[in-house]
Structure 1
Amino acid sequence: MKGSKNKKSYLIAAILIALIVAVPLTVMLLTREQPLQETPSGTVSVTVSIDCRTLFLPENAALKEQVFAALGEEGRALLGEDGTVVQNAVVKTEGGGTVLDALQSVADRYGLPVSARGGYVASLAGLPEKLTDEGGWLYSVNGVYAVVGAGSKPLADGDVIRWRYSLQKGDLDVCP
C-alpha cells in the first residue's frame, strides 16, 4: 500500500511538472508573431537615380581629377557632366525584387559596372568605396536612408530609390 501511494505521488508530481512546462511553451508558440511573407503579385514599378555629385564639389577638385585620370575617357563619361549618372530611370519587375535588383537592372541598361558583396555595393559606375576614409555608396528609399544592405531591402510599387556617393559624413546634405 505504501509503494502504491509513492507511485501515485510521483505520477501526480510528474503530471504537474509537465503542465508547468507545457502550458507556457504552448502559449508562447501559439502567440509568437509570424514573419510577414511577401508574395509576388503583379508588377512593381520603381524609379532609380544615381549620382556622385559630391565628387564635383569645388573642394574635391583634386580628388575628382585623380578619379578621372584613373577612369579614362570612357569612365569619365559614365559620371556625367555634374555627377548625375542616371536620373529617374523607371524599373519594372514582376513582384518581389530588392533595391539591389533594381540597381542591377539600371546598371545593365546604362552599361554601368557594379560590384556588390552580399547586398553591399562596393563599386558603382567605376567609383569604388573608400576613395576617402568614409567614402562609399549609400541609398535611400522614398527619402529615407536604409540601414540594411540593398540585397535585403524589398521593393514596393512606387518606390523612389536614390543611390549617392558620399566622400565624408554629412556631405550629402551639401548636395541635395
Structure 2
Amino acid sequence: MRTLKKMLEAFLAVSTAAVLFFGCSVSSVSNTSALPGDGIIKESVFESAKKDARILTFQGKSGEISYSWFFDGASISSPAAQNLKVDISDAGSDLGSAVVSSNRVKLHFHEQNLIQAKTSLKIDFPTLWGVQKVRIYRKTADAIQMLRESPLNNDKTSSVLLPMDSTMDDLYLAAVDSSFHEDAAQVVSSPSDKTGDPASAAANQSPEGTGSSEAEQKAAVSGAPAQNKGGASGKAKSKTGSPSGGNASSKASGKDRYLTDPTPPGKPKPVEPQDVKKNTKKAYYCTLSIDCKTILNNMDRLNKEKQSVMPPDGIIMKPRRVLFYEGESVFDILLRETKKESIQMEYRATPMYNSNYIEGIHNLYEFDCGELSGWMYKVNGWYPNYGCSRYLLKDGDVVDWRFTCDLGRDVGCDWDVSKK
C-alpha cells in the first residue's frame, strides 16, 4: 500500500507526517506486520519508518485476545529496538476491592521504555463486553491510580484504543458496568481525569501519545488514513494522550486526543462516531458529488492500467440530492450512495485517527496519478481538517469528493486558508 509523501506541515487536511488526505489533509504509507514470537522489533525497522514517514502496525496475540500497535514513523525521535509483546490476562486479585467489575484485565508489557513517538495500542477482545466504556488504572507501591476513561467500541466483539506514552508500567482495564464500583479511599484520581486526558505526571512530560503532524491531520479530513493505496483522503489522525499518562504538548498545542488541530472559527468541530446515535426517524437531505476532473489535465501521469476506468468528462457522480438520517456522517452517505449506484469504493478503519480511510473510488487510488494524488472531501466549500467519519452532516450540506493530483492545490484546498 502506498501513501502520499510528506505535505507541508501547515497542511491541516489529513493526518500523518508521511502525509495522506482527509480533505485538506495528508498521511503516510502503512506497513502491517505480525509481531514475532519474542515480540522484538529491530531498530532498523523504526529507522526506516522514521526516514520514510510511514505508519507501522504490528499485530500480536495473547491467548484469545488480539492486539495491534500503531507507530507514527514521522514522530519517532530516537529509533531503538523494542519488545512489543504484551501479556493480557485476568486481573485476578491485583486490584482487590479498590475496583470491582465483571471484567478486569491486566496488560503486562515486556518493554519498559517505549521509544518517543506517537503511539497507540488497540486491544480486541474475543467477546462482546456489553458496556460502553472502560476505566484504565496503574498500580504503584502506594496506590492504585485511575488514569482515564475510554470508550469501548462494540460490534460483534469489543475493542478499545489506548494512546501510549513512553512509560511502560502494567495497566489494568475495568468495564464500567452495573457491578462496577471504585473505592475512593483506595483509588487516586489523576488531576486531569475529568478532562478525558490520561493523567500520569510522567506522561504529561512525554511526547503526545498518537498524534501526527498538521499535514497528517489534514489527511484525516477525507476520513481515511493515508497509509493505503487510496491516498489523499487520508486518515484522521489525532493526538490522544496515553492511558498510561497524558501529554502536556497536546494540550499546549490545542489539538484533541486524535491529533486534530482546532477547527477554524465558524467551522463545525469533529464529532466522534462512537458518541453519536443514529435516528432513522429523522431524515434530512444533502447534496453529494464525486469527480476526478483533475486527472483530465494529467493523463500523461495516470497509471496506464487505470486509463480504462477514467470517465470521459471526469465525473463519477453528478451532484445529486441524497437522503441521510440524524447522526450520520460524510462517510455514511458515501458508503451508502456508492453501494446504491454500484460505484466501487474501498476503505479501511484507522483506529489511531478514529475515522475510516478512503482508499479508492471508481477504482482510482492514491498515487494512481502521481505521488501527490488521492481523494479529498469538502463540505460547503471547506476542506475539513479531520476524517470523514467525524464530520456530522446537517440538513442542506453540500458534500464533494474530489481527486487531487497536487496535494489539494488543484482542487482549491489552500492550506493557509484552512487554518484561518
Normalising by structure 1, report the TM-score. 0.66
Could you give the per-residue CA deviations for residues 105-147 of structure 1, whole angstroms, max 9, x where no partner exists?
A: 2201221111112212111111011222221100001100011
Does the Cα contact within 8 Å between 1:91 and 1:105 map onto a contact in 2? Answer: no
The letter for the 1-side match of 2:358 is V
1:149 aligns with 2:387: yes
Could you give the per-residue CA deviations for residues 30-72 of structure 1, whole angstroms, max 9, x where no partner exists?
A: xxxxxx8766462121110000000001xx1223471544xx4
Provide the C-alpha distance between the structure 2 equivalents of 1:90 and 1:68, rounded to a whole number of angstroms.
29
Change beyond 3 A, Cα 1:122–1:65:
closer
Among candidates 296, 311, 315, match of residue 56 of structure 1: 296
Among candidates 164, 171, 175, match of residue 410 of structure 2: 171
> Which of the pair has more CA radius of gyration?
1
Does the Cα contact within 8 Å between 2:306 and 2:364 map onto a contact in 1? Answer: no
Provide the C-alpha distance between the structure 2 equivalents of 1:90 and 1:108, rounded to a whole number of angstroms.
16
In the TM superposition, 1:22-101 aligns within 5 A as: 40=279, 42-57=282-297, 60-64=298-302, 66-69=304-307, 72=308, 76=309, 79-101=310-332
Cα RMSD, aligned residues only: 2.5
Among candidates 371, 374, 377, match of residue 139 of structure 1: 377
Could you give the per-residue CA deviations for residues 74-131 of structure 1, whole angstroms, max 9, x where no partner exists?
A: xx2xx43210111112221231111011111220122111111221211111101122
CA-CA distance at 1:149 after TM superposition: 1.2
Percent of aligned pairs sharing the same letter = 26
Normalising by structure 2, report the TM-score. 0.29
Does the Cα contact within 8 Å between 1:89 and 1:106 map onto a contact in 2? Answer: no
1:113 aligns with 2:344: yes
Q: How many residues align?
A: 133
Does the Cα contact within 8 Å between 1:99 and 1:155 map onto a contact in 2? Answer: yes
Does the Cα contact within 8 Å between 1:44 and 1:155 map onto a contact in 2? Answer: no
Find the residue that maps to 2:299 and give its secondary structure: helix
Provide the C-alpha distance between the structure 2 equivalents of 1:112 and 1:138, rounded to a whole number of angstroms.
17
Change beyond 3 A, Cα 1:129–1:65:
closer
Partner of 1:32: none
1:104 aligns with 2:338: no
Greater helix content: 1
1:122 aligns with 2:353: no
Among candidates 385, 397, 404, match of residue 159 of structure 1: 397
Runs of 4+ in 1 over 3 A off after TM superposition: 36-41
Provide the C-alpha distance between the structure 1 equivalents of 2:333 and 2:397, rounded to a whole number of angstroms.
11
Could you give the per-residue CA deviations for residues 144-175 of structure 1, whole angstroms, max 9, x where no partner exists?
A: 001111111111111100000001131114xx
Find the residue that maps to 1:147 and give its secondary structure: coil
Query: Which stretches in structure 1 are left out of the alignment for 5+ residues?
Result: 1-24, 30-35
Greater strand content: 2
Provide the C-alpha distance between the structure 1 equivalents of 2:283 and 2:322, rounded to a whole number of angstroms.
10
Does the Cα contact within 8 Å between 2:359 and 2:365 map onto a contact in 1? Answer: yes
The higher-RCO structure (CA 8 Å, 6+ apart) is: 1
